[in-house]
Structure 1
Amino acid sequence: MTIDYDIVIIGGSLAGRYAALFATQLKAKVALVESRVDYGLFYSQAIGKIANLAQPGDDLVSFGINSRNADTVEKYPISVNWPDAMLYAYGVVSNIQEQTSPAVLAAEGVDVIFGNGQFSDDPDLAFAVNQRLLRGRTYLLATGSRPAIPEIEGLQTTGYLTLANIWQAFKAPTPPQDWVIIGGVPQSIEIAQTLVKLGCSVTLVVNHPYLISSVDPEISQLLQAQLEAEGVSIFTGKIVTQVRRIDGKKWIQVGDKAIEVDEILVATGQQPNIESLNLSNVGVKLHQQRLLINEKLQTTNHRIYACGDVIGGYDFANIAQYEARIAIKNALFLPRLKVNYSNIPWAIFSQPSLARVGLTQAQAQRRFERKEILVLRHYYKSVAAAQVESKITGICKLIVLRNGEIVGATILGTAARELINLIAFAMSQKIRVKHLADLSPIYPSFAEILEQTASEWSNQKLHSNLTWQEWLEGFFYFRRNWNL
């Protein structure tokens, strides 16, 4: 069998394009097959940026923002010129697209092939597309995912939007004003806050007890309080039982409450784009519509790897890129590297932002003995920079072992996305928490919260060690009297 490529990447996601560029940097011969790439994440972040810039009374015409007059400012503090706002968003996405455009990929040596194809094993493993058989030594699935739609009575007939097409709604002359968002994924929280800041009425329905199930409850509750203070109506521990269209309006049933809305956004999760790939015929097994992969990101066919949200989990670009690097190295060389997510941070682009790395308090308590764990927390209100900039809502929470090893951290507050990277680096390099306490950051700056939180480690250690406290008291008593 003739091998045409070192690796054939079946893309359709940013992770696929990133993987292709990474493989060419290693001097591999690469083919990338894709139909299209979804940039919806960047549209939402661009519009979110507009919402965060806008304040009542401001005029940001280049962003599509105009202040309202005194009669309407209480209900809708800003008005949005959606064509101008979307033009700004298109510009942002266009600039991001250009960084990994097909032209850039081709210039780097990637053989970019547009089309939909499927695996073939007759007579040898290959990928068939556009009446071609692409033969690779290995293959990488980076096809991304699409919204998973829950079975709710009346939803299909009533109509809805998803995370993939929500921003299309704002091309209309009169965009929807009253929204209900079903689902508690990070993007649904970001969009809920963005819409309410842009003058929309928003109801968010989450089926688990807390707004974000993957962070500690105290932090989830703090973020929920912030969203509710801004006007988002939140139902936790509830499900939507039915949807109806009555007299041209959409109605949803949440528990015993009926809500009238202009539009419904379904954001309950994603499902992988794998149906048309003929995976079963080449030995790639699924479990509950998810790819079965090992720690080396190999599927049950050891020549086929996978990365990004096609393998499940939240859609975070940095995690997908981490997986792409592992998968490419394993696919091109010896498959010896294993994924380890313990030091990989992720964030929700809310205001204030929420970022996490490693274990939560509950996860640490399940993994270690309770007496081995110290929980360090500090609030933004004690940070000078937070006071100066009037951004005092927030908390930094570190989970450490008694020997000083950092096993987890969650930050809710301004600059959380930047600060969590420092903690993730410290964890990856086995830097103990006492060294974070010696950080001495620029004053005032938000990094001060890391120093203050880390300092709690030595304070807790001292307060829990009565023998050491007594020794210190005796030592200083002796020295004071000896100096006399």
Structure 2
Amino acid sequence: MAVDYDLVILGGSVEGRYAAALAAQRRVRVALIEPQPQLNPLPLALQTLGYWAQFIQQGQEVSAAHLLTPAQTLNLPQVLAWGQAVEQSHAPHLSPPALSALGVDYLVGGAEFFPIPQPAVIVNRRTLRSRRYLLALPSTPQTPPPDLENPDSTPYLTPETLWSSDLPPHLLIVGGTPLALSLAQGLQRLGKQITLVLPDRLLPREDREISQHLHGQLAALGVEIIPQSPVSQLRHIPPKKWLQAGNKALCADEIIWATGYTPQTADLHLESVGITPTNRGILVNRKLQTSHPHIYAIGNSLGGYPSAQIGQYEATIAVKNALFFPYHSVNYTTVPYELNLYPPLVRIGLTEEQARANYGEDLVILRPSFHQNVAPLIANQTRGFHKIILQPNGQILGAHFLSFSGGEMIEALRLAMEQQIPFGQLKEYSPIFRTC
């Protein structure tokens, strides 16, 4: 059967546009389908909230030193509008006009799969047949599970709906995800009273020491933390909202549900081509193939943390495998990523728990302070935690930086890990590590 394209991408995400640009540069026939012409502004709105909340807090600290007048609070609808403006001007080389100029057939509309007898995609009453398909789907914040008692009778907010009006003073945030932590940090700095309910520990996928340090930072900021407390009930007893967390009944003016993200797969009819999404996302092998060998998936489609760094790395692997022989496999060991926290959490490689499980107990754990860097001292941004995990021979297994200068350090470590440069040798060439 004749095909119209070499690759059809079902997008709606940054990594989908990145994959389309990569494919077009190889002079192949590629189509990109997005459900709407604008990407979701929520990630940038959250980053804006965190940045300006931190800025306001610093202004208040300077005001306390009698150097400035008291800072004002943030207008949340304007924060979302700022995020939308940033999204429209961000990465102009990945805008729909720029992609069209590269030769990408850009389509807007709802898409669905149809097996006839080989998989095809139908969009805007048009049938697209392709050699390969790539799922690079957008995601939306999760809502309470269906088995939660009376969730529909209790109005609650999600990270997508909290921007429309002024928030009340006391907020309950449910979740130990980066999404929940980012909201807790930003809103607490804006003067809200935040109670953070954790079904598990903070960031259960991250290094345990990092989670503990973040726990202490949030407590010092004034956030009340309710750990190890799965939510079993939601109630609206005017004027308050209530929830049952573990053995505690908690009330607040509003509840924000921020337990993670869910890929938007509902209308794609993936089951018709043999793909069954799970609650966490779409399952793939190390070549990023789904259960159908001609359909690949990357980024938000796989669940987990939304990460532009990881999504773009997966796009490079999936595009090469889809267009040519599926030879390349993902290896996340040397792929750094950053979580939108203040200070940011930057990570590469293994956690200490993972390193001990894979390499035994004979490890070297460094916790450098990096106080020789004067810029964070001037900006009063000294809060943070640094951890580097080494084998006895100096090979770097992982690094975790909760600090404003972590990005610079993680790049040096990434290069050392890729080239298998021992940490001792890295110290000779990178002054920032010489005090470790």
Q: TM-score when scaled to structure 1?
A: 0.82
CA contact (8 A) 2:41 2:84 kept: no
Aligned to 2:386, what secondary structure does the other structure show?
A: strand
Task: Output one character per residue of 1:110-135: Cα deviation in whole Å (capped at 9) or x when no partner.
Answer: 11111112222223321111111101
What are the superposed Cα offsets for residues 180-212 of structure 1, whole Å, 9 maximum, x if unpaired?
11111112111110111112111111122x322
Higher relative helix content: 1
User: Structure 1 stretches of 5 or more lacking a match?
Assistant: 61-65, 69-76, 442-447, 454-484
The partner residue of 1:401 within 391, 400, 403 is 391
Q: 2:164 aligns with which of 162, 171, 177?
A: 171
What RMSD, in angstroms, separates the aligned Cα atoms of the two structures? 2.4
Give the 5 Å matches for 1:141-290. 141-151=135-145, 152-163=148-159, 165-166=160-161, 169-172=162-165, 174-208=166-200, 210-286=201-277, 290=281
1:451 is aligned to 2:434: yes
Show the 5 A alignment for 1:110-149: 110-149=104-143
SS in 2 for 1:293: coil
Larger radius of gyration: 1
Structure 1 position 3, deviation (Å): 1.6
Give the count of matched residue pairs. Answer: 427
Q: Percent identity of the aligned residues?
A: 39
Where does residue 445 of structure 1 map in the other structure?
A: none
Counterpart code for 1:206 = L
Return the offset for 1:440.
4.4
- 3-state SS of 1:320 partner: helix
TM-score by length of 2: 0.91
- 2:366 matched to 1:391? no
Decide whether the 8 Å contact of 1:381 with 1:393 is kept in 2.
no
Q: 1:331 aligns with which of 306, 315, 322?
A: 322
- Structure 1 letter corresponding to 2:295: I
User: 1:24 corresponds to which letter in structure 2?
Assistant: A
Instruction: Quickly say closer, same or farther: Cα 1:197–1:67, change in 2 above 3 A.
Output: farther
Q: What CA distance in whole angstroms lies between the structure 2 residues aligned with 1:57 and 1:293?
A: 47
C-alpha separation in 1, matches of 2:406 and 2:272? 46
Paired amino acid for 1:393? R
Q: Is the 8 A contact 2:93 2:99 kept in 1?
A: no
Q: Which residue of 2 aligns with 1:54?
A: 56
Cα separation, 1, equivalents of 2:118 and 2:205: 43
- Residue aligning to 1:460: none
Q: Give, in whole Å, the separation in 2 of the partners of 1:93 and 1:39.
A: 6
Partner SS for 2:57: coil
The verdict on how the C-alpha distance between 1:381 and 1:254 changes in structure 2, with shifts beyond 3 A counting, is farther
Q: Which moved more, 1:274-283 or 1:192-201?
A: 274-283
- Is the partner of 1:50 in helix, strand or coil? helix
- How far, CA to CA, are the matches of 1:67 and 1:154 in structure 2? 47
Structure 2 residue aligned with 1:410: 400
CA distance in 2, matches of 1:313, 1:159: 26
> Contact 1:380–1:392 (CA<8 Å) still a contact in 2?
no
Relative contact order, higher structure (CA 8 A, sep 6+): 2
CA displacement at 1:283 relative to structure 2: 2.7
Alpha-carbon distance, 1:218 to partner: 2.4
Confirm or deny: 8 A CA contact 1:380 1:413 kept in the other structure.
no
AA aligned opposite 1:418: E
Equivalent-residue separation in structure 2 for 1:111 and 1:201 (angstroms): 49
Distance 1:260 1:287 in 2: 32
Secondary structure of the residue aligned to 1:135 is strand
Partner of 1:458: none
State the Cα distance separating 1:388 from its structure 2 match.
4.5
Cα distance in structure 2, aligned partners of 1:254 and 1:220: 20
CA–CA distance in structure 1, aligned partners of residues 100 and 61 of structure 2: 42
Distance 1:147 1:99, change over 3 A: same
Gaps of 5+ in 2: 63-67
Seen in structure 2, the aligned counterparts of structure 1 residues 292 and 83 have a Cα distance that, compared at 3 Å, is: closer
1:101 aligns with 2:103: no
Aligned-partner residue type, residue 117 of structure 1: A
Is the 2:348–2:414 contact (alpha carbons within 8 Å) kept by the matching residues of 1?
A: yes
What does the per-residue CA deviation read over 1:408-463, in whole Å, with 9 as the maximum and x for residues that have no partner?
Answer: 1111222113322221222122121012211343xxxxxx2x3322xxxxxxxxxx
For residue 16 of structure 1, what is the aligned residue in structure 2?
16
Question: What letter is aligned with 1:394?
Answer: G
Kindly indicate whether the alpha-carbon contact (under 8 Å) linking 2:179 and 2:259 is maintained by their aligned counterparts in 1: no
The alignment partner of 2:153 has SS state of: helix
- Return closer, same or farther for 1:344/1:56 CA change in 2, 3 Å cut-off: closer
State how far apart, in whole Å, the 2-side matches of 1:99 and 1:78 are.
36
Query: 1:420 maps to which residue?
Result: 410
Alpha carbons of structure 1 residues 67 and 160: separation in structure 2 relative to 1, 3 Å: farther
Q: What secondary structure, in the 3-state scheme, does the structure 1 residue paired with 2:434 have?
A: helix
Q: How far apart are 1:247 and its partner, in Å?
A: 2.0
- Which amino acid is 1:80 matched to? L
Tell me whether 1:363 sits opposite 2:365 in the alignment: no
User: Post-superposition shift, 1:83?
Assistant: 5.0
Distance change >3 Å, CA 170–CA 117, structure 1 → 2:
closer
Pairwise CA distance, 1:176: 2.9
Q: Report deviation, 1:177.
A: 2.8
